[in-house]
Amino acid sequence: MNAPLALPSDVPRVNATRFRQAHEEDWEQLDRIVSRMEKRSIRSLSDEDLLALPSLYRTTLSSLSVARDTSLDRALITYLERLCTRAYFQIYGVKTPAWRQLTGFFAHGWPSAVRALWRETLFCVALTFGAALLAYFLIRSDPTWFYSIIPQGLAEGRDPTASAAALRATLYDKEQDWLGVFATFLFTHNSQIAIFAFALGFAFAVPTVLLILYNGLTLGAFFAVFAAKGLAPNVTGWLMIHGTTEIFAICISGAAGIRIGLAIAFPGRASRMDSAVEAGRTAATAMAGAVIMLAVAGLLEGIGRQTITSDGLRMLIGSAVLVAWLSYFYALPLRRANGE
Amino acid sequence: MASSAVQPRGLKRTFITPEGVDLRLELGSAGSRAAAFIIDVLMIVAILVAATLALFYVARGTSTGGEQFIAIIWLIGAFVLRNAWFSLFEMGGRGATPGKRMLGLRVVARDGARLTGSAVIARNAMREIEVFLPLSFLADQSVEGLADTFLVVFALLWSGIFLFFPLFNRDHLRVGDLVAGTWVVQSEKSKLSADLVGTSYRARRTFPKAALELYGIYELQTLEDVLRKENPDAIVTVAAMIRGKAGLPDDGDDYGFLYDYYVALCAHLEANMMVGRRRESKFA
């Protein structure tokens, strides 16, 4: 048995050879087109390539199926698997152009994400003001409480022992020199905290809630120090010009963190995974928006507050900005975006 | 189609395209993902150091106003580098940072849909608690000495849970991947390797049927790897083993023997497969 086969030399012995001969050109062409799309974009393709792409993709995909069932050449199957995977992600994972993503974010994504988080946001706002009130009354009744809430470095002399004149000076003195740098520093620092509040939500929201709580305590403690010296309206103006935006932004990013924590702890009818994913994407959009809000707050604090020293004007600007945010997030009619 | 189910144990995952073909995605291993991350961090640090030095150089000659401007650029640049490096690259066409690209990895949505900006931001913002939180605890300890060692150890353990999270779940998901609905897959570019058998092949050896019944597809493909890699030691060992099992004489040409055996076995197994007898391995 098994005598030497009397085949002519150009007849393929195994399926892989036959198969390669029949389709190799298509695969190579798909490889070339996909490489081009990866390097540049779909717009760099010529019209012929663009028209050929879907059918080449399907041909290669069916080559993969056939190869798996008829050929034993592992290198061939691996090659086809990788090529199909790359082609799949170029065809189905097409990116929305950057500017469309950006306009979509401002027109629809951002406000609707914030709107979806309204319960958590309300909770964070209530928590902030609750904690502020608590700190305020504690310190008004016993000023030593101040030192257990605020670390020494942060106070910079603004503690209960400071004189009214010194406190007043901190509210109105201009730091002309490094104004812009100061504003930028505040923006990056606060944004980092906002991102942190978002990420900490994963630990069942507990650290996020603590962060918001502490933020409120700090606010109340400073307010108490100034109010004790009869500077309540002045400090209100000082805080409001940027604080409405800043506190709102911190509350939104806290709300984003809480949403994630709640989705993981209490997924409801959805699976824990699905629930986490849905919450994560909404929350991430809201958090990215909070970073933008903090940039605005940084500008208001670093530049607006340093140049405007009238209490009334400070409060007016702070309220106007708050109204603008509220109407953008909650009152604006949203047009449904076609795809994200 | 897929005649062998993909085992959920390894790194291969079933991934059915709308056309109904299973792409069998291969997840990035924990090691290559860690390596990609380290490359990215090194690049970020290198850029930061280089930019800082360059800005210092520029700042020497300028006025106070210029210095301020440069300080602002530095602050914003550092913030963007830390928070946006990963997100911006992953939003691009390749879905990968330079580090991931080097290791042939890319980020994709677990459900196969397009990767949205919000998913990318979510997975990267989570890095705050995975990497920067443990780092900041470490920094705290070195600053404050041993006063709160117990607290710091506790904090490190707690944050370590997030850092080592990928090692404790089947799909190697980071906390960020879990929340964003993404995973990191191997997506390499490879050239079609040469046809091992080809058309100009002429069999110089023939094998008895019993010798071809020894092995299945798994062994055939292992033999294919041996032939493609052309490692002399492996070729000698494998040739000796097959000759021993099949009881064939040694003719001194190990590579030629293995090559002929490969072609004969491949043709034999393919012929059986065509009539519905697919033999996965020698144990089947």
Closest C-alpha among A305, A163, A323, A158 to residue A238? A305
Contact of A244 with A114, CB cutoff 8 Å: no
Residue B230: list chain A partners with CB under 8 A.
none
How close A226 gets to chain B, by Cα (Å)?
31
Residue A121 CB burial class (10 angstroms; 0-12, 13-18, ≥19): buried
Q: Residue A101 pLDDT > 70, yes or no?
A: yes
Q: Which of A42-51, A55-64, A289-298, B138-147 has the lowest mean pLDDT?
A: B138-147
User: H helices of chain A, where?
Assistant: 15-39, 47-70, 74-92, 98-104, 110-116, 118-141, 145-149, 152-155, 164-172, 179-200, 206-228, 232-265, 272-299, 305-307, 311-326
Among the partner residues A14, A101, A202, nearest to B197 by beta-carbon distance: A14
Q: What is the pLDDT along chain B (284 residues), one digit of tens a residue?
A: 333 444 455 788 888 888 888 888 888 888 899 999 999 999 999 999 999 999 888 888 777 777 888 888 899 999 999 888 999 888 877 788 999 999 989 898 888 788 888 999 999 998 888 887 777 766 665 655 555 667 677 777 777 788 888 888 888 888 889 899 998 988 888 787 777 776 666 667 788 888 888 888 888 888 888 888 888 888 888 888 888 888 888 887 888 888 888 888 888 888 888 888 888 888 87
pLDDT value, residue A263 = 92
The whole-angstrom separation of Cα B218 and Cα B215 is 8
The whole-angstrom separation of Cα B195 and Cα B227 is 12
Residue B93: list chain A partners with CB under 8 A.
37-38, 41, 90, 95
Residue A113: list chain B partners with CB under 8 A.
118
Closest C-alpha among A56, A64, A3, A69 to residue A29? A56
Closest chain B residue to A20, measured at CA: B195
How close B108 gets to chain A, by Cα (Å)?
8
How many CB atoms neighbour CB A244 within 10 A?
23
Binary contact (B118, A284; C-beta < 8 A): yes
* Partners of B105 in the β-ladder: B186
Q: Residue A338 pLDDT > 60, yes or no?
A: no
Contact of A255 with A200, CB cutoff 8 Å: no
Closest C-alpha among A330, A301, A339, A334 to residue A318? A301
Binary contact (B17, A185; C-beta < 8 A): no
- Concatenated DSSP letters of B204-267: -----HHHHTS--HHHHHHHHHHHHHT-HHHHHHHHHHHHHHHTPPP-S-HHHHHHHHHHHHHH
Residues 217-246 of A with CB under 8 A from B: none
B46-73 burial, b at 16+ Cβ within 10 Å, e below that, comes to eeeeeeeeebeeebeeeeeeebbbbbbe
pLDDT value, residue A9 = 52
A25 CB-near residues (< 8 Å, 6+ apart): none
User: Is the reported ipTM for this assembly greater than 0.90?
Assistant: no
Place of tokens 């058309």: B199
Contact of A217 with A132, CB cutoff 8 Å: yes
* Partners of B26 in the β-ladder: B12
Residue A8 CB burial class (10 angstroms; 0-12, 13-18, ≥19): exposed
Closest chain B residue to A97, measured at CA: B92
Closest chain B residue to A77, measured at CA: B192
Q: What mean pLDDT do residues A116-139 have?
A: 94
* Interface with chain B: mutation pick from A26, A262, A281, A285, highest number of B CBs within 10 Å: A281
The whole-angstrom separation of Cα A156 and Cα A301 is 17
Contact of A233 with A311, CB cutoff 8 Å: yes
> Is A56 touching B (CB cutoff 8 A)?
no
Supply B62's token pair: 């300028």
Binary contact (A65, B21; C-beta < 8 A): yes
Residue B224: list chain A partners with CB under 8 A.
73-75
The whole-angstrom separation of Cα B225 and Cα B235 is 10
Q: Are strands B12-13 and B25-26 parallel, antiparallel or unpaired?
A: antiparallel
Domain segments of chain A as ranges: 15-92, 99-331
Q: What mean pLDDT do residues A220-245 have?
A: 89
Contact of A63 with A101, CB cutoff 8 Å: no
How close A127 gets to chain B, by Cα (Å)?
23
pLDDT value, residue A339 = 42
Supply B126's token pair: 């989570």
pLDDT value, residue A45 = 82
Model's pTM, two decimal places? 0.83
Supply B7's token pair: 């085992």
Among the partner residues A37, A65, A199, nearest to B128 by beta-carbon distance: A199
Among the partner residues A2, A65, A70, nearest to B209 by beta-carbon distance: A2
The whole-angstrom separation of Cα B171 and Cα A40 is 31
Report pLDDT digits (tens) over A295-307: 999 888 877 877 8
Among the partner residues A113, A177, A180, nearest to B72 by beta-carbon distance: A180
Closest chain B residue to A188, measured at CA: B79
Closest C-alpha among B158, B80, B159, B93 to residue B124? B80
pLDDT value, residue A304 = 81
Q: What mean pLDDT do residues A206-231 have?
A: 90
- Cα B255 from chain centroid? 32
Closest C-alpha among B212, B218, B184 to residue B107? B184
Binary contact (B206, A288; C-beta < 8 A): no
